[in-house]
A and B are shown apart, each in its own frame.
Chain A
């Protein structure tokens, strides 16, 4: 247990040290909530990076972020500069549109020109950076992968087709071997990041970036009124849209032991700082619906920044991940000082805006059981726009079956929803209708009817109460039809053939 006597001294305040377009920077005297975008466009006059929305919706501000992995390696990811805070860049490297073509246009830039992939050109630097990052990280493999890569970039001239063609053209271009440079950069970044807790302050506003979970526990215990920030995909907007004062921030994105995924005894443990991108493959391995949900969860830049812990701890009633993890029977590990407790995820959400989290307590990890052979799972996100949209309803179901005489009956039902109440919530009345009987059309109908007892959803801009309830009910019907083999696909994204301009045949 940490107490005042044993707590380490406050770490010394340091300037923010990072690498920008290959050159080292040391910044002090700016507010900790200065965004990376404002810094780039302001003091650095790097105006190729554009502001289209200042809330991570449009991708015009996409830059490439490199960080050392603590083991001599380097990872790269694209992020929206508009909602990244500058102190989070300590010990990282940023590359902007001005830098990538410094020795003449890259193959991607040439392909963009030749495919007519820019029109007004305002969104173009963001698309270039996003595709560049996708290429460098090996994410561009086929047409669908290119489409997924740019899901978080908006083009109002709506010239997506040529952009995809350009991205596809470079997918096969060999990525230059930068192993030696990467190792050097990794070492340089580790050195810039410095030892222990990075502490920054300006104008009475403070920022801490611990690098280990124990440091985080100590720092948070010493400053329990601090706001924890991970990927800043939510908290960034508190600043850029709500102008909130955030005098004290603790950044958990540098905490390396919260960035691990481990597995034991059929259970997967995700560190809270694991990003949605990092989690996607593992979650998709639990069930393909989870992979599909994460594909549509947000654009790549957001998934590259937002964390599993953040998506849970912010308590949003419309977060997409909590219903999925509740249906699976997920639990979270909460740490305060040296104390650790484990809470079933469904119990963490108490009511709108209120979670079972004490002052100074933080989400350290999320435990997700793998599905057993006798379990069936379903997850589906209902939103108006296919990509980059907030769900009206997020449904996740997990049914456990057992044999009972001739029948296979439902032994346990977990039907979890987002968007149906002030918190992510199970439909207990509906579940009760399913247990102890086969999951047939009658059972589904009874459970659908019972959902009206479980939920009185809100009417808001995204959907009416009636619509939400009806959709929630119909999603269960669809699960039943799918398990009965009576319905196959769901409404899906445009297939990979999109914009092939291939001759189109008539009705089948």
Chain B
């Protein structure tokens, strides 16, 4: 397929196959600007779409000056609720498992600031932009509700993606009653936005009843079904090309209304249409991490063991859809406690629907939990690491299941050793650097589930002994094209240079969803199995062929390596793949594979990646400017396919932790409800200068139950643990416990002036 990115055989210089720290195989395309992202496409006759977005957050659009927009030279069409052609299903139909209600100009209601209220399609981007401006909407505005205190909370039916909102074990009150020390503390985390560097974009073009979509997408095949449902065509009539995603972080997993409108506009006008969001339009329609308030009660006995752990979260969601940040669930699987309670409430605000954002639930939950654990350790008079070890869970606390593997003790030990944790004074404000800055050390435990989804793959052995492997996976930057390619080559017993890898196109076997830190495990298992299947068929040919040195080895077995099959009992008797195929007169031999978890393992074990993060901060005593000055993270995440890519994901996650702890926050204007910092100048993502010296330690872990390959995920765990570690280090530096994220100099300055 010419429109599928195919990666040529490898550059041997960069290494080969699983376990090797290969550099990414799409690296040259990326550093030369040759990697084509969705908005880079420009089919002949293409029109540009620009949306007008609501500037109020609740109410009704009372007028749009469609005439003025249409009169502007170059404007081809203005789509509003008045003329929007019908879709095959309603916007509430949710045609796939992770679907949300979508905003597709179904009525004149404004549900949040930034919601699309009209789409202008024109011959040029400038004309479309001007057309959208000329619409000059007027509104009937109602009071914006954008803060927790603006509304009453409610009890949600589910949190996250279909998880129960309440889980309880033991008696919290009894546990607290018998505790020697107790803490209760409440934390607040703000709304955060993914801000992938690539704004969402789509180029849609129809050919009869078939449509081709260039759009970044974390779940290609699943999305073909969704678009098919909205447009009343079978999924196979929808082609999605997503060779490169300029970052996703969860926001490109779920189809949003603007994409559907783009497909609709292309159909309506019979020409290709491009819709590329501006940066400010990324704050609303394409998801975010919902704000939370989290309240804890913990009790500890005389030894510092937890007698009760209660975690109550209130999460914000939109008025028209539920995505309830499952933050309390972060307390299910980490610290042993005879009494454990996690509950969720939710608050409906006039905001866009939140959605999964790198470590949904765990990031916010861990930020608060690890801070609260630090407070509990202090109350118990214990070093925070010692406290965590005393409360180490040998089985998953809420489910009582054994862990499939858990090398957290090793993470604690190796991280603490590298960091020098043993020299930490217990009391705060004990350390200063040469320049007189307050120095503090803190730690946090990192935890993230190791899920698997469903994926399929194909492997084709070719006459020349090389192979082609295919799966519709997504590389958002994490390096799927490299790690999956490595696994696939190993499945085939070939060097990666002999294996061609196709991905990023919905016409390929379903690679599942690139999310939940499960893509490498899931698509990797499918690719590996496809290779094994092809090798099994090849083995059949060989062992039944009298002319083969492997003839009759069917019961003994053969091993596949370096492009040859070897007798298991006598490796010197071997034959190349090409020779076997040639003699059989077979030009191509295909194998198929699936990736999914063994249901019995899934039932029996609790499966997680673990880690320990240690942070040092420096705080200016007069100005209270905070700098993270070093971070050490030790992570155990099963088998590491590519240590370079894995470490890079972990560094990235930890730096997201810096952003969470110190910088990132969407600020709403309380009157209009609009986000005041909907841009990259004022919504602060970490710049290089915010990043301290960092160490990532990959701790060995052999997990026999997660999947046959022992693969877990590393994409999200880095942010967990880190936020709490930084917050705890700030307390240790200053003696001030700030319970609202991001921790700003302002809160610290107000509190430290007492000192």
Contacts and interface: CB of A to CB of B under 8 A. Distances in A.
B588 interface: no
Interface string A14-57: 00000000000000000100100010011001011111111101
Given A123-B197, A494-B689, A470 B435 contact: no
A333 interface: no
A204 interface: no
Contacts of B436: 487-489
Contacts of B124: 42
A101 interface: yes
Contacts of A491: 437, 618, 620, 623, 625, 627
B32 A147 contact: no
Given A121-B246, A499-B691, A50 B684 contact: no
Interface string B656-700: 100000110001000000001101111011111111111100000
Contact of B33 (A98, A159, A492): A98
A384 interface: yes
Nearest to A162: B648
Contacts of A128: 31, 33
A120 B648 contact: no
Interface residues of B, number: 100
Interface residues of A, number: 97
Which of the listed residues A153, A492, A505 has the most CB atoms from chain B within 10 Å of its own CB?
Answer: A492
A504 B634 CA distance: 14
Interface in A357-404: 382, 384-390
Interface in A278-333: none
Given A157-B477, A470-B749, A119 B652 contact: yes
A409 interface: no
Interface stretch (A218-226, A263-271, A415-423, A461-469): A461-469
B689 A493 contact: yes
Interface in A111-168: 112-125, 128, 147, 150-151, 153-164
A464 B746 contact: yes
B31 A507 contact: no
Contacts of A164: 688
B745 A160 contact: no
Majority DSSP secondary structure for residues of B touching A:
loop
Nearest to B40: A47
A478 B644 contact: no
A53 B279 contact: yes
A490 B435 contact: yes
B196 interface: yes
Given A154-B685, A385-B684, A490 B620 contact: yes
B663 A120 contact: no
Nearest to A99: B33
Contacts of B692: 494, 498
Interface stretch (B126-134, B166-174, B548-556): B126-134
Given A38-B125, A158-B651, A471-B749, A388 B420 contact: no
Contact of A461 (B34, B196, B244, B677): B677
B23 A114 contact: yes
B279 A52 contact: yes
Contacts of B684: 384-385, 389
A147 B680 contact: no
Interface in B606-658: 618, 620, 622-623, 625, 627, 629-630, 632, 644-645, 648, 651-652, 655-656
Interface string A448-464: 00000000000001111
Interface of B: 14, 23-24, 26-37, 39-40, 42, 124-126, 129-130, 133, 195-199, 244-249, 276, 278-280, 418-420, 422-424, 431, 433-437, 439, 441, 476-479, 618, 620, 622-623, 625, 627, 629-630, 632, 644-645, 648, 651-652, 655-656, 662-663, 667, 676-677, 679-682, 684-695, 744-746, 749-750, 753
7 contacts: A53-B681, A109-B28, A488-B436, A489-B435, A489-B437, A500-B693, A501-B693
